[in-house]
């Protein structure tokens, strides 16, 4: 039996909120706009960029959404290339968890609103890229909660939905898992509160990384 565990990245594997919020603020400023508060920005983490801008600016035209999304990419690249980017640490226990799951025969994947380049950078920086056999990003899929990322990850792994779990910190992850027929495991250390994860369909929400392996083993 093939068991597949798919992880979100931002807010689940790594704490990247500072850089995301900074890039949103710079992209808004480039267009003469005042960015929303950071607690509002954190709520769109996980969505594809254009969809995120639609949520932040629901009354704006699509051309502006597209322009701010591109300005966000430019700002993020500038932060990284100039060394101004803040550390994006792995959450405590994640590296050990990935190693243990791999040793126990789990196949691992990532489904994220990041770009291919952004995800590759994070995984390489933390030395965890080799754990994952399938990487799904916003470059090749509709935004969460569309199930395309999970569907493709399952095809890559040869897994079926009944033995696949999506692990994430946002309601978008939980809704995506439900849409794909996979198990939805929420984590409480990310950017959406546990009650929203439950409302979006989480089968279980774990408080600490140490509880994730047990949650995966007990459907």
For the stretch 137-191, pLDDT in tens is 999 999 999 999 999 999 999 999 999 999 999 999 999 999 999 999 999 999 9
Catalytic status, residue 10: yes
Catalytic status, residue 71: no
**Half-sphere exposure (Cβ direction) of 142: Cα atoms closer than 13 Å:** 9
Token pair 């689940």 is at which residue?
A: 12
Q: Residues 172, 150: contact at Cβ < 8 Å?
A: no
Instruction: Indicate the pTM of the whole model.
Output: 0.93
Q: Which DSSP string corresponds to 62-104?
A: HHHHHHHHHHHHHHHHHHHHTT-PPP-PBPTTHHHHHHHHHHT
Radius of gyration of the chain, Cα coordinates, nearest whole angstrom: 17
Please enumerate in sequence order all residues whose Cβ is within 8 A of that of 130, keeping only pairs 6 or more positions apart, or say none. Answer: none
pLDDT band for position 213 (cuts 50, 70, 90)? very high
pLDDT band for position 98 (cuts 50, 70, 90)? very high
Beta pairing partners, 111:
136
* 128 pLDDT more than 90: yes
Q: Whats the size of the chain, residue-wise?
A: 219
Asked if the bond preceding 44 is cis, omega within 30° of 0, the reply is: no
């Amino acid at each position: 039996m093939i068991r597949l565990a798919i992880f979100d990245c931002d807010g689940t594997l790594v704490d990247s909120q500072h850089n995301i919020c900074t890039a949103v603020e710079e992209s808004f400023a480039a267009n003469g706009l005042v960015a929303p508060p950071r607690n509002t920005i954190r709520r769109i983490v996980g969505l594809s960029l254009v969809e995120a801008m639609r949520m932040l600016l629901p009354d704006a035209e699509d051309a502006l959404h597209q322009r701010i999304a591109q300005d966000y990419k430019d700002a993020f690249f500038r932060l990284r290339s100039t060394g101004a980017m803040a550390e994006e640490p792995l959450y405590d226990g994640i590296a050990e968890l990935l190693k243990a799951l791999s040793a126990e025969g789990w196949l691992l994947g990532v489904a994220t609103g990041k770009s291919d380049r952004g995800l590759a950078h994070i995984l390489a920086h933390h030395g965890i890229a080799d754990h994952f056999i399938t990487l799904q990003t916003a470059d090749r899929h509709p935004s969460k909660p569309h199930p395309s990322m999970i569907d493709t990850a399952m095809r890559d792994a040869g897994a079926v939905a009944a033995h696949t779990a999506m692990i994430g910190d946002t309601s978008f992850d939980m809704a995506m898992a439900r849409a794909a027929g996979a198990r939805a495991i929420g984590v409480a250390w990310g950017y959406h509160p546990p009650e929203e994860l439950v409302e979006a369909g989480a089968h279980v929400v774990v408080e600490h990384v140490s509880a994730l392996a047990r949650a995966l083993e007990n459907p």
